[in-house]
RNA sequence: GGCGCGGUAGCUCAGGGGUAGAGCAGCGGGAUCAUAAUCCGUUGGUCGGGGGUUCAAAUCCCUCCCGCGCUACCA
């Protein structure tokens, strides 16, 4: 039975417009999914949209359309985004789908059966203007002595019948679970946050509403719809066929990983495992919370109007370039800044100059000097063996880094080899050997081709289109590009005629500059 | 307020008791296969301030200053 891996993005709220943050999350998942597939895992990669709630109902009403029509339209934006960024997701779930609704209701019944749901009153200070409840402590006194929300909106005491989940019963089980699974949450700092949050005590959770109806009906009490968390989180197991626990659920759930933005970590690391435990199901294997991107040092916001449209970004810099930048620039989990100078520095300094040019100088040489026929190597020197060994063994640290979602660390390791490869070429100087020792030149050129083959194979998850273009130029068969093909057993065959090479990573030239500026 | 994380070269950051490191930027040089790319060398830091422990502190302890995160129902 093959090793399996299940990776999910959050479901994106249909009221949102897709922006770079959504693209970032999905790209990270995609890189992981591709890496695992190439590493021999049977992977299921899920994305989707969250389509219920009062806001969606209201937006539809405002536009004079049915909620489902609004959802159909906006869900497509996210499905399209996945295509635009090259996501290899195997499935795309919508919370309005029958399979999802069935899963929510099944989970609800399980929770009810195990005695973790009860009916009571949800009461609190509600600000109609903000559509939000506030804590007593958050309120301020207005000039006439009335209570005001932090936003200045007047609040009123509201009581509403609601189902509650006995979250308070899970403080100890959760702490025990965290203790036993220190890798449940990444990065570590988030683990500590969640841990101390739970340690501070848990209150029961209101999980239904009666004030709107655009949601999953509570089984047996149609007045209620489920309120966000049970609805939204259940998508992860709905897509595995839950409540059927035999097929995909059995195969994938034990190896589930959720990638989320840091804003929704509590729901994934506290509520979700609690729900699952309450239903006698296992929590996911790991949740990783990533950070936010600023733009030229400024927060992305609607009011500033500087939210980046992924389409425009990809148009401008190229898809693989964006994917590479997002994975390379910062440790996953940290916040980052998206700036023209940073991205052009990465594109030109690393992709074009160091990696792309490495391939081009080797393949171009073979094309010009040897009529595109890949030479057969002679005996290897210690230098040859050293660089080839580094290439073949690169997968080891890369795997370790990727298993911890350390994209930047993996790329660090890869780039150490890219740099060593350029040093190797300079030291061997095949252009000089051309006159003095053609046989040795052939060996060096062959080694260069092997270096590029290894690097391209391992770079596929990050820059799939470009890496595969390189492999095309090396004449590597489509079914010989997995990590199992690294190493000498699958080395290129001398004597093969290679297609005409052309640069794979073009330099980025800022608008207004006619000549490519030096590495900016 | 409480809890936690961080303040190291111009920039981004690694290191975490024994004579300060990387990448980028800067400066100098070499090479010419290549997308004028690459390669070699190199300038640059009182490791936030103060105090303490120690033969020895960027590293441990105390304290102060500054920045950030979390402190429940907002996807």
**Are A6 and A42 contacting, i.e. CB atoms less than 8 angstroms apart?**
no
Specify whether A480 is located in the same domain as A350.
yes
Q: Establish whether the CB of A160 is closer than 7 Å to any nucleic acid atom in strand B.
A: no
Q: What is the mean pLDDT of residues A463-483?
A: 98
Specify whether A80 is located in the same domain as A207.
yes
**pLDDT at res. A510:** 79
Which CATH number goes with the domain that contains A245? 3.40.50.620
Looking at per-residue pLDDT, the higher value among A393 and A129 belongs to: A393
Q: Is residue A57 in some structural domain?
A: yes
> With bands split at pLDDT 50, 70 and 90, how would you rate the model's confidence at A159?
confident
Looking at per-residue pLDDT, the higher value among A132 and A327 belongs to: A327
Q: Is residue A443 in some structural domain?
A: yes
Express each pLDDT in A418-445 by its tens digit: 999 999 999 999 999 999 999 999 999 9
**Are A394 and A382 contacting, i.e. CB atoms less than 8 angstroms apart?**
no
Q: Is residue A322 in some structural domain?
A: no
Among the candidates A273, A291, A309, a domain finishes at A291
Q: Give, in order, the Cα–Cα distances in Å from A268 to each of A41, A186, A232, A257, A279.
A: 24, 12, 10, 11, 16
Q: Is 70 exceeded by the pLDDT of residue A514?
A: no
**pLDDT at res. A520:** 33
- Does the interface predicted TM-score (ipTM) exceed 0.90? yes
Specify whether A279 is located in the same domain as A398.
no
The domain total for chain A is 2
A99: exposed, middle or buried (Cβ count in 10 Å: 0-12, 13-18, 19+): middle
Q: Which residue has the tokens 């989940």?
A: A165
**pLDDT at res. A305:** 67
Q: Establish whether the CB of A339 is closer than 7 Å to any nucleic acid atom in strand B.
A: no
Q: How many helices (H) and strands (E) does chain A have?
A: 21, 18
Specify whether A233 is located in the same domain as A365.
no
Q: Is residue A79 in some structural domain?
A: yes
**pLDDT at res. A148:** 72
Among the candidates A251, A266, A291, a domain finishes at A291
**pLDDT at res. A516:** 45
> Can you say how many angstroms the Cα of residue A89 is from the centroid of all Cα atoms in its chain?
11
Specify whether A344 is located in the same domain as A287.
no
Specify whether A105 is located in the same domain as A200.
yes
Q: Is residue A512 in some structural domain?
A: no
Q: Which nucleotide is nearest to A203 (CA to C1')?
A: B72
**Are A360 and A469 contacting, i.e. CB atoms less than 8 angstroms apart?**
no
Specify whether A31 is located in the same domain as A98.
yes
Specify whether A229 is located in the same domain as A354.
no
Q: Is residue A33 in some structural domain?
A: yes
Q: Is residue A258 in some structural domain?
A: yes
Specify whether A281 is located in the same domain as A368.
no
**pLDDT at res. A151:** 66
* CA closest to B75 C1', residue: A13
Q: Establish whether the CB of A227 is closer than 7 Å to any nucleic acid atom in strand B.
A: yes
Specify whether A174 is located in the same domain as A90.
yes
Express each pLDDT in A95-140 by its tens digit: 999 999 999 999 999 999 999 999 998 877 777 666 677 766 666 6
Above pLDDT 90, what percent of chain A? Answer: 82
Q: Is 60 exceeded by the pLDDT of residue A518?
A: no
B3 C1' – A197 CA distance, angstroms? 9
Specify whether A283 is located in the same domain as A408.
no
Q: Is 70 exceeded by the pLDDT of residue A142?
A: no
How far apart (Å, rounded) are the C-alpha atoms in residues A290 and A299? Answer: 16
Q: Is residue A27 in some structural domain?
A: yes
**pLDDT at res. A2:** 85
**pLDDT at res. A143:** 67
How far apart (Å, rounded) are the C-alpha atoms in residues A451 and A96? Answer: 49
**pLDDT at res. A137:** 63
**pLDDT at res. A484:** 98
Q: Which nucleotide is nearest to A207 (CA to C1')?
A: B73
Mean pLDDT for chain A? Answer: 92
Express each pLDDT in A328-380 by its tens digit: 999 999 999 889 899 999 999 999 999 999 999 999 999 999 999 999 999 99
**Are A235 and A11 contacting, i.e. CB atoms less than 8 angstroms apart?**
yes
Closest CA to A127 of A151, A152, A155, A148: A155
- HEC letters along A342-353: HHHHHHHHHHHH
Which CATH number goes with the domain that contains A398? 1.10.730.10
Nucleotides of B under 7 A from a protein CB: 3-5, 12-14, 24-26, 30-40, 69-75
Q: Is 80 exceeded by the pLDDT of residue A302?
A: no
CA dihedral A316, A319, A320, A322 (to 10 degrees): 60
Q: Establish whether the CB of A83 is closer than 7 Å to any nucleic acid atom in strand B.
A: no
B3 C1' – A190 CA distance, angstroms? 13
Specify whether A274 is located in the same domain as A402.
no
- Domain range enclosing A285: 4-116+166-291
**pLDDT at res. A84:** 96
């Amino acid at each position: 039975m093959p090793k399996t891996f299940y990776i999910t993005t959050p479901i994106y709220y249909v009221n949102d417009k897709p922006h770079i943050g959504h693209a970032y999350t999905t790209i990270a998942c995609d890189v992981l999914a591709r890496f695992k597939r190439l590493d021999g895992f049977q992977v299921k990669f899920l994305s989707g949209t969250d389509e219920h709630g009062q806001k969606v109902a209201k937006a539809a009403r405002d536009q004079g359309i049915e909620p489902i029509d609004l959802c159909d339209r906006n869900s497509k934006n996210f499905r399209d985004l996945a295509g635009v960024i090259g996501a290899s997701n195997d499935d795309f779930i919508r919370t309005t789908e029958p399979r999802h609704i069935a899963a929510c209701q099944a989970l609800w019944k399980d929770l009810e059966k195990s005695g973790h749901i009860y009916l009571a009153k949800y009461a609190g200070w509600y600000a109609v203007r903000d559509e939000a409840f506030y804590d007593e402590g958050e309120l301020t006194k207005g000039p006439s002595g009335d209570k005001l929300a932090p936003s200045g909106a007047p609040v009123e005491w509201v009581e509403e019948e609601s189902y509650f989940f006995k979250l308070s019963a899970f403080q100890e089980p959760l702490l025990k679970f965290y203790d036993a699974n220190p890798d449940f949450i990444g990065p570590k700092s988030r683990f500590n946050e969640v841990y101390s949050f739970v340690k501070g005590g848990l209150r029961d959770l209101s999980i239904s509403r009666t004030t709107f109806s655009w949601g999953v009906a509570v089984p047996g009490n149609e007045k209620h719809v489920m309120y966000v968390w049970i609805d939204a989180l259940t998508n992860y197991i709905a897509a595995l066929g839950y409540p059927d626990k035999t097929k995909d659920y059995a195969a994938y759930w034990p190896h589930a990983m959720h990638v989320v933005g840091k804003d929704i970590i509590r729901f994934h690391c506290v509520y979700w495992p609690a729900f699952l435990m309450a239903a006698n199901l296992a929590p996911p294997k790991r949740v990783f919370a990533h950070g936010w991107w600023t733009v030229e040092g400024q927060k992305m916001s609607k009011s500033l109007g500087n939210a980046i449209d992924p389409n425009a970004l990809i148009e401008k810099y190229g898809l693989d370039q964006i994917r590479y930048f997002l994975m390379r620039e910062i440790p996953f989990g940290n916040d980052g800044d998206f700036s023209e100078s940073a991205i052009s520095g990465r594109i030109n300094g690393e992709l074009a100059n160091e990696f792309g040019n490495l391939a081009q100088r080797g393949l171009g040489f073979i094309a010009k000097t040897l009529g595109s026929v890949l030479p057969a190597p002679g005996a290897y020197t210690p230098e040859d063996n050293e660089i080839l060994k580094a290439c073949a063994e690169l997968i080891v640290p890369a795997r370790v880094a990727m298993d911890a979602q350390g994209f930047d660390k993996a790329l660090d390791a890869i780039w150490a080899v890219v740099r060593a490869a350029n040093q190797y070429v300079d030291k061997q100087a095949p252009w000089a050997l051309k006159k003095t020792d053609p046989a040795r030149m052939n060996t060096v050129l062959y080694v260069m081709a092997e270096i590029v083959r290894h690097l391209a194979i391992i770079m596929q998850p990050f820059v799939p289109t470009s890496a595969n273009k390189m492999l095309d130029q090396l004449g590597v068969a489509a079914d010989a590009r997995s990590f199992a093909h690294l190493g000498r057993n699958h080395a290129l065959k001398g004597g093969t005629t290679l297609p005409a090479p052309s640069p794979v990573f073009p330099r980025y030239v800022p608008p207004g500059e006619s000549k490519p500026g030096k590495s900016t």
